[in-house]
Structure formats: C-alpha cells, structure tokens
Amino acid sequence: SQQGEEDPQALSIQEGENATMNCSYKTSINNLQWYRQNSGRGLVHLILIRSNEREKHSGRLRVTLDTSKKSSSLLITASRAADTASYFCATDGGRDKLIFGTGTRLQVFP
C-alpha cells in the first residue's frame, strides 16, 4: 500500500484564505517532499524537508514535519485561484524512489 495518506481528500476555499493539508506516513524516512499537480499535467516539486528539520518555508508555503507522529503538513497562505491543483506528499522509499500519498485536491475560488 502507499506510504502516505493525505487529509483532506478535497478542500475548497476562497481566495485569500489559508489552505492546510496533512500527510501521514508509515515508516522511517530521510526526507519528505511536497509536489503540486495541475489537472492533466506533470508534477512540480514544491519543497523538501529533511527528517532532522521541523519546519521549512518557501514563499507562501510552510511545511512542518513531526517524525514522532509520522506526519507532515503543508500550509499555503493567502491562497490564489492559481493554487488550484492536487497536492501530494512523497517520502523516500529507498534508492531515491518516491512513495506518494493519495493527494489533496485543492480548489480556490476567486
């Protein structure tokens, strides 16, 4: 089964609001990454957080990692309609292969 499970499966918000997505995983990791996928497109790498890091920021993105709970969260602040996409967490599955979660589908309404 897949390593990561995202919650919620779908999220709808208004522009300007914050969006929070959560990811849980099952085994020990070296790092965890978040990707975005626009409808019908490939994946875009957003941010990587290593197992010894607790929080990381990149622009409007904030990622946290709690290795004791085997969970991570992605916060998008001041969301925009262009943030509408599916968001996936991915953990390292050995030999650098990625184990993806099921994704959160984010809809941002103007």
Partner 1 sequence: NAGVMQNPRHLVRRRGQEARLRCSPMKGHSHVYWYRQLPEEGLKFMVYLQKENIIDESGMPKERFSAEFPKEGPSILRIQQVVRGDSAAYFCASFPGGAGYNEQFFGPGTRLTVL
Token match 């929070």: residue?
Answer: 20
42 binds partner 1 (CB under 8 A): yes
Least distance from partner 1 to the Cβ atom of residue 66, Å: 20
d(CA 7, CA 85): 15
Least distance from partner 1 to the Cβ atom of residue 16, Å: 28
Least distance from partner 1 to the Cβ atom of residue 6, Å: 8
Least distance from partner 1 to the Cβ atom of residue 78, Å: 26
Q: Which residues pair with 76 in a beta bridge?
A: 19, 61
d(CA 63, CA 46): 10
Residues 78-107 that bind partner 1 (CB under 8 A): 88, 90, 93, 95-103
39 binds partner 1 (CB under 8 A): no
Check residue 41 and report its DSSP letter: S
Residues that bind partner 1 (CB under 8 A): 2, 4, 30-31, 35, 40-45, 48, 88, 90, 93, 95-103
